[in-house]
Every structure is written in structure tokens, then in C-alpha cells.
Structure 1
Amino acid sequence: MYPTLALAMTLALFSGEAQARSPEAAEQLGTTLTPLGGQLEGNAAGTIPPWQGGLTMAPAGYERSGQHHVDPFASDEPLFTIDASNLEEYRGQLTPGQQALFAAYPGTFRMPVFVSRRSASAPESVYEHTRVNAQSAQLREGGNGFIGAYGGIPFPLPRNGVEAVWNHITRYRGTYLTRRSAEVAVQRNGGYVPIVTEQQALFRYYDPRVSAAGLDNRLFYYLTQTRSPARLAGGAILVHETLDQYHEPRQAWAYNSGQRRVRRAPSLAYDTPIAAADGLRTADDTDMYNGSPDRYEWKLLGKQEIYIPYNNYRLGNPQITYKQLLTPSHLNPEYTRYELHRVWVVEGTLKKDARHVYSKRRLYLDEDSWQAAVVDQYDGRGDLWRVSMAYLKNYYELPTVWSALDVYHDLQARRYHVQNLDNEEVATVDFSQPLPDAGDFTPAALRRQGTR
């Protein structure tokens, strides 16, 4: 299937390259295409509906940002369930990583499939900036950064793989958020110890107080403090993520509570193992993929219809405990939801002169939001090693599509890691707090936060 898709996509890209930065091309957004560059129409089989604006209003019972989300589709029932017994019927609409999960856990892994709801939406300001970016955004230094874009998707009409990757990295997730959540590494026997952190993120790229000229090469500021368990409590990390990572790589600092010192953390990038994930996640696995794309050659392979996690509101239900949700080997399928959606398929192959534990990564990007829904990762021998899945939902208070939970499966270790659990917290992510200043994200501020 991929050779045909790749050829068709290559022809389309080259035939449209001359006009991809023209006003005429940008006029497709919101007319013949969705405002972020997806296909407006559904598929021929009728199993993917047309996009009609997505979810833009909160359902009854939802009152404020920070409240656990009310499921707007709570009455939906599964259309069918994919399991080991009928896998062959649906194999063509699953990624290799998803297929490997069925092979690894044939008795327990399954995918409840629901009616496809193209709930993705974004504020009108994001759509407006995306239309401008479609004419002005330019890659820098072989794709390791870009200029000429702000406040929206930079390349809604992508001409190559690295532009599509930047669309995922810069997708809209609000302007400022605070949250308290847990991450867990689930062992083979189902055991786990939650690591609870408090996080703040200021997405400078979407800050209405600045413009493209005033970004100071900053994509976002991120600050996290560990609250439990006791052996880790007090530690903190600060990240300044840059747009042009060739001239100014990511800057990071760590606060050690035992030493009460702040140190630079230059290695917090690429394939550095994350301690809180028990080695099951690399630094650039976080958020499905992040950081500089410079170590890979990226190819845009085209689009495919895939069953991906979508509208997963049940996973954040405060009435569901971590014990119920976190079963051995994978999430409890009873609480998951999959839908058929079109995705952009982007493949990264490690450059010959670069080093990384993954020799190849394949990203499956939701066409309506540019969020990576599934990522398959291959080891140095070329064997499938890990598969990551983002269980998406619409944060309708903004609105935007983002992950409810990020889950990282290690097929060789037969363990998995989960980020952003908050069912047992009193609140979920809050986008409503006043915007802080960039000065609140400095090494001095990190020291103050760590000593709280």
C-alpha cells in the first residue's frame, strides 16, 4: 500500500511545489481543505465522515478548565472489537506496531472501535495564523528550524516529511497550562509506583503578547517539579525549547533537592533515557516526538486510513482508579476507544553520521490536528522495538485535540509506560490561569520552585 501512496503523494507534492507558498494555495484552507490542511470530505466507504467544524462547545455538566472532562460521546457503543481472532480482517488499517501488540498479547489486547467522530477543532485565531503561515513559513538549516510562522500550524500544505514533523511539534495546546499528574512504568506482573509531578508550560509560539518577530527563538518554556515518591520529591527540571535548534539547541536545567543546586542538563535530548520512565521512554519520545529533527532523514509517505485512539474521555474519568486502568502488558481495553481516521505517514531514517537508539521511526499524524497518534520505533538491527500511542481527545475548553494519556510499549521488555494520569487527582490540566512572564522560567525561578 505504501509504494502507491508514496508515489501519488510525491507527484502531488512536486506538481504543487511552485504554488505551495502562494496566496492561491493558502486559499484552500477552510474552503477545499480544513483550516489546518486536512481533507474536508469523508471516505468513499462512509466510515470516515466529512469534517464539519469539529467539537467547539463543552457538553452539559462541564463548568470550568481544570475540571475532569465530561464525555460528550458517553452514549456511544462499540461498533465492533478488533482482537486476535479477527486481526487479519483489519490488518491493513493497523500500524506494524499495533499489529505487534496483538502478537505480543493475543489473549488480552483488543481495540474497541467506535463510530468515527472528527471532533478536532481549534480557535479561529489559530486558523487565521495558519493561513498566514502557509505563505510565509520557511525551513532553516536543512529543516532543523523554521522562520516566518507564529500562532498556528507552520506548514499546513506540507511539501516534505520534516515540514510535517514540525507541524506536530508546534501544534496548538493552549498558551499556558498547569497540571498535576502521575506517570508510571508498569512491570510485567502489573506492579507500578506512581511518580507525581506538577507542571507548567508557557507556549511562547502561541502567546498573544508577542509576534513572530518577538518570539526570541522560543517555542515554549516548561517547568516540572516532582512531588512523590519521597525519594524523588523536590527535584525539578526547566526547559527552554527553541525554534531554530541548529543555531540555538534546547536549553535545560535540573534542580537537585539533596544538593540544593541547579545544574545545566545538556543531555536532556534525543535518546537520553528518562529515569522516571524506568528507561522505557527516551527524551525525544516524550509527547510522541519532540526536539530537533536533525538526526533523521524524513520522508512524507502519504496518507492512510488507520484505527487510532480518538475521543478517549473515559481514560480520565475520576471514577476509574489507576488499579482498574493499569493492567499487566497494556491499558485495560474496557476504557479505550479507537476510531478510523486518515493520518499522514511520516518516516524518519537515521542519518549515516548520526547516533540514536532508534534506526527508524514512523509517525502517524492525525490529519485534522497534526497530533501524532501512533509512533512505531525500530532498533539498530531494523527490528520493531517500541510502539507509542497517544489516546486523543478534544480539550473543548480551548478547543484543541491533544492526548489524554501517552502510552509507550516496549515489545522486547514486555513492559509499558504511561504519562499524564490524573484520575486520582482532584483536578486535571488547567488552561485558565493568568499568563506568566518569561522571567518565571529561569534557573533562579527553578531554584525557588525546587525549594517549595
Structure 2
Amino acid sequence: MKLQHILSLAALSLAVPAFAAVTAEEAKQLGTTLTEFGAIKAGNADGSIPAYTGGLTEAPAGFKPNSGFWVDPFKDEKPVLRIDSKNMAQHAALLSEGQKHLLSKNPSYYLNVYPTHRTVAYPKKILDATVRNATTCKTTKEGLAIDRACRGGMPFPIPKTGHEVMWNQMLRYQGEAMINTSASRSWVVDSSGKAVMTAEQATVQDFVYYQTEQADRDPDMAWRTYSISKSPARRAGEMTGLADYLDPVARPRRAWSYTPGLRRVKLSPEFSYDTPVASMGGVTLFDELFVFSGTMDRFDFKLVGKKEMYIQYNSYKNQYDCPTAEKALMPTHVNPECERWEKHRVWVVEATLKPGQRHAYSKRTYYFDEDMSGAASYDAFDQNGQLYRALFQTTSPMYDKQIPFSAKNVVYDFNKGMYAYVNDVMVGGWQVLSTVRSEREMNPEAIVSRESAR
């Protein structure tokens, strides 16, 4: 990574303790030179990244509210640039190691780069809470936890450490209630080019951190999710659930599973760190669900700075209009015609394995959209320092609800020559619930009882 392409924050991150919130004077940047969520409001020098003007909040023609599907507002746009193996050297400064590897090893792969649109929008309530968090929210336990003062908005709109950026990703806004789907599919394409659907699941995500008006909520819970397997037949009826907390040192991830044959719920502490996710073919790990989740104690997280980069953005075509079995999956990579790449500014965080700790990776380099939409990617390196895997997560904002939604991703395993296509939703779409379930209804035993009866 070339230094001239990074706005270095190294000196700042060294000078400020990991637990410090920003000063009131620093916070004055929010809503002026910075957006309320901490991104640079102005565009870049050549205009290829526009200024932020509030995001997209009006639905395009043809959109059907509550259908579970969002119409692509940019479906008629054409690429302004195509990057392939022949010209990638000219654009190397804007590419990750994973992108360069895919391009160099696959003549059939390319990046269609489209005009950049900063479509992310947030409700005023969330923006107000984010501005408040800037001067009150702090990390504790060397960045591994955050205190209860953090609530209802992005915790660190002006991040100064790698841990703070990672907390922003884990606690990114995806609505105040729950988002679920009746059929989320995961596919694996093996080294022979054969595509196999490894799982079809109904999933529910519950964003407890943003449910500030729910009296029965655990104030220490950050987020939880559960899924019910529908396919393959041998796993139908199996359920798994995860809950993460603001202080994972004191309260580690609570994971559970249910198997119809055993007819009981059991705790599953192995659903963490570098344990492979079976429903995703083992190509992705539990601590990289939604790019990263869980506890950060095995790595040192360094905030390198900010740079311009091509990331998957406004990926409505990929999310809703590219049927997987017929079009999206090719033998060694996703069909590039299904993808949309845009130039955005990203936060760069390097995670390096701590001495004495064990993990499948020795290092990961993360790239997070500065508007914290959830659009992100990483490069993962093995114990010999060689590129091992790369992940690319899309975003397709729910403009009518002001939710910068992101879920679908692809993970490439370069060692095994295979890849996983995760959270592919073509049936039922994504449903945003207007109300939340009570804490009693979200108890694992209640979930199993309710879902088994259907």
C-alpha cells in the first residue's frame, strides 16, 4: 500500500489512549466538514467521489413497499471503466490484494466501475445519537469492550483507533427492529467449478443496540441472530443462534444450537473465532460473519488511515436481479456482470495476530466505507504471510427506510481454489419488521418452540 494514497492517522492513534472519546471541539466537525456520522462531507479532488448531500431517500419508479425487494435506482447506468488483467497495473493503488489476485489469475474476471453515488441515509434520531456518542462513548479493556454510554447511534463517528473502527462496523445501523428472510441461501463453488447450495435458511437479525425504547432489553447486548435450516434435507429443522455483547470480555458470545434428533437446545461456545461455518461450506469463519463479529482479543487492530478504493456499492443488481443458479456463479469467480464497483473513501485497519495467540490467519487488512454503509472487504493472510482469502461485501441501501443495508458477500479461498457466495436471497426478499419481539419471545427455548411448530 503506497503511503501517498493514505491519509495517515498513525500519529493520532498513538497519541490518544484507546479509551478516550473525542473532545467537544473535535466534535464540532460533525455536521460541518464531516457528516454527522464522521465521513468527509466534501468530494475528492477530481470529482470522482461526490460530496455527501444527504443520501438517497426517495424510492425510484417501480418500487413496491414491503415487497422485500428494492428496485435498482441506477439500472440504466453504464460502466465508466473496466479493469481487467491487462490494465490493472494502472489502477493498482485503488485495488486490494484480493482484487489484484483475482484479476491476475482469471482472464475472464474484470471490475465494472460505475459512477459513484453516496446513497447512504440515516434517520435523524440515529444521527443525533451518533453526534452524542462522539463525546460520551468510550472503549474499555484496551479496546475490546465499550461502555453503556454508547447507544442508539454509531459509537465512534471520529474513530482514532482500529478497535473503534471495528466497533463501528459491528454496530453499524441496520434498523431499530428486526430484519429477516424466509430463504437465505449459501453456495460453494469448489475447485472443479461445481456449484453446490450448502444451505437454505430462514434468518432473523435483531439489533438490540438500537432498541433504546424497549424496557425489557439487556443494556449490555449488542446484537443477536438466529437461523433455521431448510435445506439440505438432512439438516432441515436445525437451528443456531448467536448473541454478542458490548463487553465480550465479561460476557463472551452466547451461541446455541438445536438439532431435531436431540430435541434440546445446547450451548455452542465453539461458534466463534476461526471455527469454520458449516452451512457456508467451511470457506468462511465465525469471526468473519458480516465481515467481522465476535471478540477482538486475538489480534492487534491498527488504524492505518483512509484511502480511495474500488468497493462493491449500490449492489441492487447483485442482491436482487442476478439469479444465482442461472447467472451469478462461474467456475472460478462470481460473474463480473452481476457486480457493481464504485470509488469510495475507506477506513483501512490492519489486524495482526498477537504473539502466543492461535488463528487460521496471521493478518487481515480491512477496508470499510467511510459512510459506514457496511460495504467492506478484507484480505486475509496465512501463517506464512501469503494471501489466503478475500471477502467482498455488498451494500444496497433501503432508501424508503433510511437503512444502509448490507448482507450479501463472496469469500474467495485462494489456497483451495474455491469460493462461497453467502446470503443470496431470491425468494421472499428481506423483511423489515416494524415492531420487535419481547425478550421472552427471543429466548432460545421460545424460538425453538415457535419455529418447530410451523
**Aligned counterpart, 1:269:** 272
Instruction: Write out aligned runs for 1:298-377 (5 A).
Output: 298-318=301-321, 320-369=323-372, 371-377=374-380
**Aligned counterpart, 2:196:** 192
Question: What is the CA–CA distance in structure 1 between the aligned matches of 2:323 and 2:301, rounded to whole Å?
Answer: 40
Q: Does the CA contact (< 8 Å) of 2:20 and 2:138 recur in 1?
A: no
Q: Quote the offset at 1:6 in angstroms.
A: 6.6
- Cα distance change on mapping 1:287 and 1:321 into 2, 3 Å: closer
Question: What is the CA–CA distance in structure 2 between the aligned matches of 1:31 and 1:190, rounded to whole Å?
Answer: 51
Amino acid aligned to 2:133:
N
2:227 pairs with one of 224, 228, 232 = 224
> What's the TM-score, normalizing by structure 2?
0.94
Q: Does the CA contact (< 8 Å) of 1:196 and 1:229 recur in 2?
A: yes
Q: Quote the offset at 1:24 in angstroms.
A: 2.3
Q: Does the CA contact (< 8 Å) of 1:308 and 1:373 recur in 2?
A: yes
- Output one character per residue of 1:240-279: Cα deviation in whole Å (capped at 9) or x when no partner: 2111001010101100112212111011000001111221
Q: Quote the offset at 1:391 in angstroms.
A: 1.6
Question: What is the CA–CA distance in structure 2 between the aligned matches of 1:443 and 1:70, rounded to whole Å?
Answer: 35
- Output one character per residue of 1:393-448: Cα deviation in whole Å (capped at 9) or x when no partner: 2121322323252110001111111111112x1x2111134211122221312431
Amino acid aligned to 1:177:
I
Q: Counterpart of 2:196 in 1: which secondary structure? A: coil
**Aligned counterpart, 1:58:** 59
1:178 aligns with 2:180: yes
Amino acid aligned to 1:199:
T
- Aligned residue pairs, count: 448
Amino acid aligned to 1:216:
P
Q: Does the CA contact (< 8 Å) of 1:65 and 1:432 recur in 2?
A: no
Output the aligned Cα RMSD.
2.1
Q: Quote the offset at 1:100 in angstroms.
A: 1.0
**Aligned counterpart, 1:160:** 161
Instruction: Write out aligned runs for 1:199-278 (5 A).
Output: 199-210=203-214, 215-278=218-281
Amino acid aligned to 2:268:
A
> What's the TM-score, normalizing by structure 1?
0.94
1:410 aligns with 2:395: no
Amino acid aligned to 1:254:
S
Q: Counterpart of 2:235 in 1: which secondary structure? A: coil
Q: Counterpart of 1:444 in 2: which secondary structure? A: helix
Q: Does the CA contact (< 8 Å) of 2:272 and 2:294 recur in 1?
A: yes
Q: Quote the offset at 1:206 in angstroms.
A: 0.6
Q: Quote the offset at 1:2 in angstroms.
A: 4.5
Question: What is the CA–CA distance in structure 1 between the aligned matches of 2:355 and 2:239, rounded to whole Å?
Answer: 35
Q: Counterpart of 2:304 in 1: which secondary structure? A: strand
Which of structure 1's runs of 4+ aligned residues deviate more than 4 A? Answer: 1-7, 12-20
Q: Counterpart of 1:327 in 2: which secondary structure? A: coil
**Aligned counterpart, 1:35:** 36
**Aligned counterpart, 1:117:** 117
Identity rate, percent: 33
Question: What is the CA–CA distance in structure 1 between the aligned matches of 2:352 and 2:15, rounded to whole Å?
Answer: 25
Give the gaps of 5 or more residues in structure 2: none
Q: Does the CA contact (< 8 Å) of 1:190 and 1:326 recur in 2?
A: no
Question: What is the CA–CA distance in structure 1 between the aligned matches of 2:286 and 2:450, rounded to whole Å?
Answer: 22
Q: Does the CA contact (< 8 Å) of 1:190 and 1:328 recur in 2?
A: yes
Q: Mean Cα displacement is larger for which, 191-200 or 144-153?
A: 191-200
Amino acid aligned to 1:51:
Y
Question: What is the CA–CA distance in structure 2 between the aligned matches of 1:439 and 1:306, rounded to whole Å?
Answer: 44
Q: Does the CA contact (< 8 Å) of 1:315 and 1:404 recur in 2?
A: no
- Output one character per residue of 1:355-414: Cα deviation in whole Å (capped at 9) or x when no partner: 111110111010012525111111111111000000222121322323252110001111
**Aligned counterpart, 1:95:** 96
